[in-house]
Chain A
Amino acid sequence: MLPILVFVVPVGFAVLVFALGRVHWIFREGLALLGLVVTFAISIAICGRVLGGELLTAWDRNLYVDGLSALMEVLGSGMGIIIVLYSIRYVTRHQLGMPLNPWRHTYFYGLQVLFLGMFNWTCATNSLIMMWVSMEATTLSVAFLVTFYWQRQSMEAGYKYLLLVSVGVTLALLGCVLVYAAAIPFLPGHNILLLTEIGKVTKLMPESVVLIACAMFVAGFGTKAGLIPFHAWLPDAHAEAPVPISALLSGIVIKIGAYALARTVTIFAPSYGAVVIFVAIMASVSMVIGIIMAWAQDDLKRLLAYHSVSQMGYVVEGLGLGTYLGIYGGLFHLVNHTIFKGLLFLCAGALMYATGSRRISELGAVTKKMPVTAFCFFVAAMSMGGLPPFNGFMSKITLFFALADRGLLWAAIISVIVSFLTLACLAHAAYKIFWSKPAITSNPEIVTKKVPFLMQVSMIVLALFCILLGVYPYLIYPMLDCATKCILRILGGA
């Protein structure tokens, strides 16, 4: 029952929000928050039971919740709560010179909840095609959040997002169809769609088909995950969406791609070594080019977006390895990236809220005025740069070891270098923003507003998690371990 609830509940709440949202803000923010909290509770329950060692299935195993799904669900709904908390003050009050429009805020929250529902569905479903469907659904549900401000840039970003992701994901559909078709001869009719079953017969499939399917998957899900060269939508969307949505995008949306890759490509890893190397190459390319591009950015959000591209490289690389250490590291980095990148975006939002600018060249020397933001930013930055004792260090070090362990030394070296470059880039940006005098001094007093309490709270919570997971990784170890074991079990089934 829980696997159904976990995505039906948010959808229901979304409907409620859409229905009542315009009446009173209680029915927008309140209901949305309530819905997410309930969802979170459900995911926690699921998580508990999964850690207990049972597999939750429903609808004739079309819904199948294992450790990985549970992890993703907890992560998604938890992050969702924080983002909604942040939005309450950010989006509702921070108008960017627009008249307050209840309908718009209604669908802002409604779509967020709906998206979470779809996301949970993606994680819960076990059917190949349905996973694709729900994934496309998440894409669509986010589209109008990206274009939230309905200004030129936001619409442009939204258009590109919608078009590119649809096209890319359609390719993934082709891949799904191919795999499905290839699985037909070896499986009884009603099982063909189930990933868990397909995983068992990958060896028997014709290699050419598998490889093409893998290419399609990487292209399609890679588009969603923002891997180079399918990432084109990502910087625009991240930059132009409202800050909470940027956090949502790089915190959760692109993780769906990674999740899908973990579900699909990983099942071929043990039987097809080429796939592993190929994924490693793709990932390395993404992290290198992503960080290179990040260096040139003056727009803080765009910079962070490119960092997302680069960091997703780590995640995918780890997941693609198909070894315990690799998958563990990949998932760990996935979780960490959700936390610290979300935090970074929220900090950027706080900066924009306070100063009305997101250009690094216009910002400067704001530490005195906004210490909390500065603190959070540094925590997140150091975490992403892979400095102990923050969570980023833990996952990255795991990944390095995993790569070296798998014999991909070149990839390990690249990852280390990129990690240093990341740190350097962020330190550079942080220095410019928080200490040095602004390069372009438009007005002497940059900080005009005070960052509201709710926003600070949500930032601090994330920052605390950054540190907590850094100094006490065991907090999350069981879930990660369980998730990794699940993936490996599927592989082992093969």
Chain B
Amino acid sequence: MTTLWILLCSLGILALGAGIAAITYKQHKTCSWISFATVFASTTGIIYCAAQVFINGPIKTAQPLFSLPGIGASLMITVDALSALFLVITSVICFCSTLYSIHYMSYYKGESLLRYYPFLLLFALGMMGVVCVSDMLFFFVFWEFMTLTSYVLVIYERNEEINLRAGFLYFLLTHIGLLCMFVAAFLLYARVGSFSFKEMQNAMGMLLTQNTALLHLVLTLFFIGFATKAAALPFGAWLPEAHPVAPSSISAILSGVMIKMGVYGILRVFVWMLPSSHAWYIWGGVIAIFGIISMVIGSLAALTQDDNKKLIAFSSIGQIGYILLAVGMGMSFLRVAPPLAAVAFLAALYHLVNDAALKALWFLNAGSIIYRIGTRDLNRMGGLGTLMPITATTGLIACLSVAGIPPLSSFTSKWLIFQSSLIGGIDMPIYLVFGVAAFFMSVVTLAYALKYMNATFLGKSHGEINRSLITEVPISMKIPQIILAVICLGLGVLPIMVLKVLYPALNSLLPFGYLPRFTALFGSGLTGINLSFAGGISGMWNPLWLIIAAGFCFGLGYLVFRFSSAGGSRVRVAETWYGGRKHAAGEVRYTSLSFYVPFKQYFAFRVKGIDFEGLYPKTLHLPRMTIPQWLRAVLDIDHWLYYPFASGFVRLSQWFSRVHVGIPQVYILWIIIGVIAAIIVLFTLPAG
């Protein structure tokens, strides 16, 4: 019970902090630090609760905190290991983002913090609420809460019209998705008359036996909703527009946590809620297909971007593709080969965690660049590595992590995905193709990661950049990046530990009896994985020994260096050599535009006047939030009601007051007339 209270407190303090922040938004520092303190407190609380959950099993509210008996909805808090996992991700990343914001927000001069910190905290609260509740209606409530607050944060820079448009696209699509989910929920609700997850589960069971078509309709609607939020293409068209325009600290949360909520929803509904049936198989295939689409298009589109945040945004789509692929595989394999399924699910969760960490890191990194350079255009950067070494290092770590370079994070997850897809693909060849595609895309991932790296930190600086002015970002912006970088490294170096944490989450997700023993899957090693599906070990991966070996080889290299310096070799920094010519710095540059041109052209084509680059439309036509003329006319009450009325009234009153001619005799006349009138009225009025 106490744990529950700690949880509730750490959620409540966010709301409180939002209130205080809203009051003190005028004082930049106070507001920022209060918000940070709030998030810090809640983060500690959440982590404690999560630990409790992982050790002592799920937290449940005995009786609903608040209930609408009329419609059978009640606010039940249930935090199982899966929720706990998401809670931890959310709180940690929000913590980093808030800490980052303290200095970062000074970049937005003209804007009011009132539209930032309160909404940031409420946004975090909303996301935590989404994973905590076990009632569909309140799930939607928090979901909408999350969406609206994030919408406000996305359009933080209200003055640029493009931002508003992107925000509107986000608003529109997510709400269409929400609508679909609402319809689906009501279809289920119609069966059981309650919104609680358990009842929904029963409703699905009923549909499974009675009306399969309806069940698939429901699942389709749910999938559309969650896929929209998870930004799985083609539903995720909002993401590449919304992420770049939001402040980087927000982009970090959006792509680090919020889109993962879609995955959470899919896991909840399609795995946890949907009873064991052939529907798993079918929908696993569907989800995997959408995953592969997002992966391919997202990665290839990221390759073509010259806006650093847009590049990262597309990369999130690609990584979401990996996660969905894994989830889909898991669902497909679940009934035929539980070990494969378990590995796939664990891979999905693992990749989710990795991607959360590294995307947050990457966006913060991009934010630091924007903070210093003031532009998002990769063509206008370059050569910052020498000026901002720490940022460059964190950037490098982010890039290598997303590319899945061992021993950094997301190698293990990708490795697991390949293993399960390729080995599982022997029986379901479609996944073999998917696995190869995933493999290919991971190379593409490496390509765009390096493009970011080269265009930002390496190469020659753009002519506009005044290198003498640019220094390392403030410490409060460095620390979150370092924290996240360390997390990325740790997630990669200790796969067994991470898997041991993810295992209970998966256990809480799957029906009983579907999850093999941990050691049966990953062997009994503490440092390395010996992956084995039922028959024989099919893969080994031991970061510790890799590091030892690499260290040894570095030692060899060091010896060579010693040898060379013993041989009288000295280091000297000289001018860049342009084949004998002299060029001013920044005059001769290899811009990000030129990277991989021949390769990109294979994925660029033109359909009906729309340019596709990397299989994705180059310029998405953003809708404008427009009100039809007649509606505007109707809504403009001032125009047709107030102004005429007021002016008419004033004219009337002026006309009336002209009666006061000022001559005493006239006033006496009034009195006399008044008396006569009074008498007449009195005698004409009905008595009694």
Contacts and interface: CB of A to CB of B under 8 A. Distances in A.
Direct contact of A and B (CB under 8 A): yes
Interface of A: 159-160, 163-164, 167-168, 171, 207-208, 211-212, 214-216, 218-219, 222-223, 229-230, 232-233, 235-236, 272-275, 277-278, 281-282, 289, 292-297
B575 to A, nearest CB: 63
- The residue in A164, A232, A294 that gathers the most chain B C-beta atoms within 10 A of its C-beta is A232
A219 B674 CA distance: 7
* Leading 6 A-B pairs by shortest Cβ distance: A232-B667, A295-B653, A296-B653, A274-B685, A215-B678, A273-B688
B671 A164 contact: yes
- The residue in B649, B664, B666, B673 that gathers the most chain A C-beta atoms within 10 A of its C-beta is B664
A277 B687 CA distance: 9
A208 B687 CA distance: 11
Interface string B670-688: 1101110011011101111
A274 B682 contact: yes
Given A163-B664, A230-B674, A232-B670, A292 B681 contact: no
Given A160-B664, A277-B685, A296 B670 contact: no
Contact of B682 (A215, A236, A297): A215
A196 to B, nearest CB: 24
Nearest to A164: B667
Nearest to A159: B664
Contacts of A222: 674
Contact of A292 (B652, B673, B682): B652
A275 B682 contact: yes
Contact of A230 (B654, B671, B679): B671
A440 B671 CA distance: 38
Given A211-B683, A232-B666, 7 more contacts: A159-B664, A164-B668, A230-B670, A232-B671, A235-B660, A289-B656, A296-B656
A167 B668 contact: yes
20 contacts: A163-B664, A164-B667, A167-B668, A167-B671, A168-B671, A211-B682, A212-B682, A216-B675, A219-B675, A223-B671, A229-B671, A229-B673, A230-B671, A230-B674, A232-B671, A272-B687, A274-B682, A278-B681, A278-B682, A296-B653
A5 B688 CA distance: 42
- The residue in B673, B675, B688 that gathers the most chain A C-beta atoms within 10 A of its C-beta is B675
- The residue in A282, A296, A297 that gathers the most chain B C-beta atoms within 10 A of its C-beta is A296
Contacts of A207: 687
Interface residues of B, number: 27
B491 to A, nearest CB: 58
B679 A211 contact: yes
Interface in B230-266: none
A414 B93 CA distance: 60
Nearest to A160: B664
Interface string B531-572: 000000000000000000000000000000000000000000
A218 B680 CA distance: 13
A229 B674 contact: yes
A293 B657 CA distance: 5
Contacts of B526: none
B331 to A, nearest CB: 59
Contacts of A215: 675, 678-679, 682
Contact of A273 (B666, B668, B673, B687): B687
Contacts of A223: 671
Contacts of B657: 293, 296-297
A223 B670 CA distance: 11
Given A218-B678, A278-B681, A292 B656 contact: yes
B667 A233 contact: yes
Nearest to A228: B674
Nearest to A174: B675
B336 interface: no
Nearest to A212: B679
B610 interface: no
Contacts of B650: 295-296
B665 to A, nearest CB: 10
A292 B655 CA distance: 10
Given A159-B664, A235-B660, A294 B671 contact: no
A103 to B, nearest CB: 28
Contacts of A216: 675
A376 B649 CA distance: 28
A232 B682 contact: no
Nearest to A306: B657
A259 B686 CA distance: 26
Contacts of A230: 670-671, 674
B641 to A, nearest CB: 14
Interface in B621-653: 649-650, 652-653
B657 to A, nearest CB: 4
Nearest to A162: B664
A406 to B, nearest CB: 13
A256 to B, nearest CB: 18
Contacts of B686: 273-274
A171 B687 CA distance: 24
A448 B174 CA distance: 59
A293 B654 CA distance: 7
A315 B679 CA distance: 22
Contacts of B664: 159-160, 163-164
Nearest to B666: A232
A219 B671 contact: yes
A295 B687 contact: no
Contacts of B674: 219, 222, 229-230
A219 B649 contact: no
Nearest to B655: A296
Contacts of A297: 657
B670 A295 contact: no
A274 B687 CA distance: 5
A162 to B, nearest CB: 10
A160 B667 contact: yes
Nearest to A208: B683
Interface string B261-283: 00000000000000000000000
B684 to A, nearest CB: 9
A294 B682 CA distance: 28
A171 B675 contact: yes
A229 B652 CA distance: 17
B678 to A, nearest CB: 4
A219 to B, nearest CB: 5
Nearest to B665: A163
A369 to B, nearest CB: 23
Nearest to A211: B682
A235 B688 CA distance: 35
